[in-house]
Amino acid sequence: MIHYDFDGKVAVVTGAAGGIGRATARRLAAAGARVVVADLDLDQAEETVKLIAGDGGDAAAVRVDVAESASVKAMVDFTVRRYGGLDYAHNNAGIVGAGANIADMPDEVWERGIAVMLSGVFYGMKHEIPAILARGGGAIVNTSSGAGLIGFPGMGNYVAAKHGVIGLTRTAALEYITQGIRINAICPGTARSRMVDDWMRGSAEAEAQVAALHPIGRIAEADEIAEAVLWLLSGAASFVVGAALPVDGGYTIT
Ligand SMILES: NC(=O)c1ccc[n+]([C@@H]2O[C@H](COP(=O)([O-])OP(=O)(O)OC[C@H]3O[C@@H](n4cnc5c(N)ncnc54)[C@H](O)[C@@H]3O)[C@@H](O)[C@H]2O)c1
């Protein structure tokens, strides 16, 4: 594992109560960042903070609903009040896909998917960018998905939101790179998380079926996705701008 240096920097991670967001928050804190652990689920966000404190890191939890602009603004305001500014953000909160084809998808299921996973990333960047600019620059990573690059039957709301995240990321990257903010997206394949555990319901058979879809022959640990996020946020990726990086064991190249 590469050691990154985020000493003295401040980061906010949404969806950090579990899975990929928790793994990113822990890795950022281990690399020296002060981390705001933001999630709808405050109890589990506090749990992430305890894990970080146990590792000797500095973090604070805040409840956010990324689907609400005012709530996301309050998250950024909290970060600036608590730690004096903002340098990095990982906009990562997400929910499971519809589980229904388009003609059968209730409007509210469509709307919630778009609100959390597309508007959530928009509100994130909208409120984070001024704070990052005030520090003279930084970096943002948005979580898209393999489903941001290819279609998946029964997941139209998820697929549309995740494709949208890539378009929004590319546009934001062009708008802000000259002001010192590098903005990229990651496109994970299936990674072990609460969402995926709920979906597979502890069935080894289900996991084997999903693993077989990935040319690498297994699903990822959340930490393997966090590793890519850390790299994209770090100076090691200094010439990477507006990328949609697959971290998917080969899923989307088959
Ligand atoms: N795990 C995978 O296989 C996989 C693959 C591709 C993309 N992703 C994406 O990775 C991201 C993280 O998911 P994960 O797999 O770690 O699952 P997870 O369920 O562990 O994490 C998602 C987090 O988002 C939070 N959240 C949901 N709605 C929210 C809202 N409105 N406001 C704030 N927080 C909210 C949840 O409480 C949860 O803690 C998601 O965007 C997901 O779509 C995951």
Index of the ligand 1 atom closest to the CA of residue 147: 6
pLDDT at residue 201 is higher than 80? no
Q: Residue 246: CB within 6 Å of ligand 1?
A: no
pLDDT of amino acid 202: 77
Nearest to 116 by CA among 79, 74, 80, 64: 64
pLDDT of amino acid 198: 81
Q: Which domain holds residue 205?
A: 10-248
pLDDT at residue 138 is higher than 80? yes
Q: Residue 141: CB within 6 Å of ligand 1?
A: no
For ligand 1, the distance from its centroid to the CA atom of residue 111, given in whole angstroms, is 17
Determine contact, residues 161/67, Cβ cutoff 8 Å. Answer: no
* Rg of the chain (C-alpha set): 17
How many domains in the chain?
A: 1
Residue nearest to atom 27 of ligand 1 (CA): 94
**pLDDT digits over 34-57, tens only?**
999 999 999 999 999 999 999 999
Determine contact, residues 91/38, Cβ cutoff 8 Å. Answer: no
Of 13, 24, 36, 39, best ligand 1 pocket probe by most atoms within 8 Å of the beta carbon: 39
Q: Residue 129: CB within 6 Å of ligand 1?
A: no
Structural domain includes residue 140 = yes
Q: How confident is the model at residue 71 (pLDDT cuts 50, 70, 90)?
A: very high
Q: What is the CATH number of the domain that holds 193?
A: 3.40.50.720
Average pLDDT taken over every residue of the chain: 96
Structural domain includes residue 174 = yes
**pLDDT digits over 81-137, tens only?**
999 999 999 999 999 998 899 999 999 999 999 999 999 999 999 999 999 999 999
Catalytic residues: 158
Nearest to 229 by CA among 28, 14, 1: 28
Q: Residue 64: CB within 6 Å of ligand 1?
A: yes
Q: How confident is the model at residue 197 (pLDDT cuts 50, 70, 90)?
A: confident
Residues above pLDDT 90, as percent of the chain: 91
SS (H, E, C) the chain: CCCCCCCCCEEEEECCCCHHHHHHHHHHHHCCCEEEEEECCHHHHHHHHHHHHHCCCEEEEEECCCCCHHHHHHHHHHHHHHHCCCCEEEECCCCCCCCECHHHCCHHHHHHHHHHHHHHHHHHHHHHHHHHHHCCCEEEEEECCHHHCCCCCCEHHHHHHHHHHHHHHHHHHHHHHHHCEEEEEEEECCECCHHHHHHHCCCHHHHHHHHHCCCCCCCECHHHHHHHHHHHHCHHHCCCCCCEEEECCCHHHC
pLDDT at residue 199 is higher than 80? no
Structural domain includes residue 47 = yes
Structural domain includes residue 37 = yes
pLDDT of amino acid 195: 82
Q: How far apart are CA 85 and CA 129, in angstroms?
A: 11
Q: Residue 68: CB within 6 Å of ligand 1?
A: no
Give the mean model confidence (pLDDT) for residues 165-179. Answer: 98
pLDDT of amino acid 3: 83
Structural domain includes residue 253 = no
Give the mean model confidence (pLDDT) for residues 145-164. Answer: 97
pLDDT of amino acid 166: 99
pLDDT of amino acid 9: 98
Structural domain includes residue 144 = yes
Index of the ligand 1 atom closest to the CA of residue 195: 19
Structural domain includes residue 5 = no
Q: Residue 65: CB within 6 Å of ligand 1?
A: yes
pLDDT at residue 203 is higher than 90? no
Q: Residue 45: CB within 6 Å of ligand 1?
A: no
For ligand 1, the distance from its centroid to the CA atom of residue 143, given in whole angstroms, is 9
Index of the ligand 1 atom closest to the CA of residue 146: 6
Index of the ligand 1 atom closest to the CA of residue 189: 5
Q: How far apart are CA 129 and CA 219, in angstroms?
A: 33
Structural domain includes residue 254 = no
Give the mean model confidence (pLDDT) for residues 72-80. Answer: 98
Q: How far apart are CA 46 and CA 61, in angstroms?
A: 6
pLDDT at residue 1 is higher than 80? no
Give the mean model confidence (pLDDT) for residues 239-245. Answer: 98
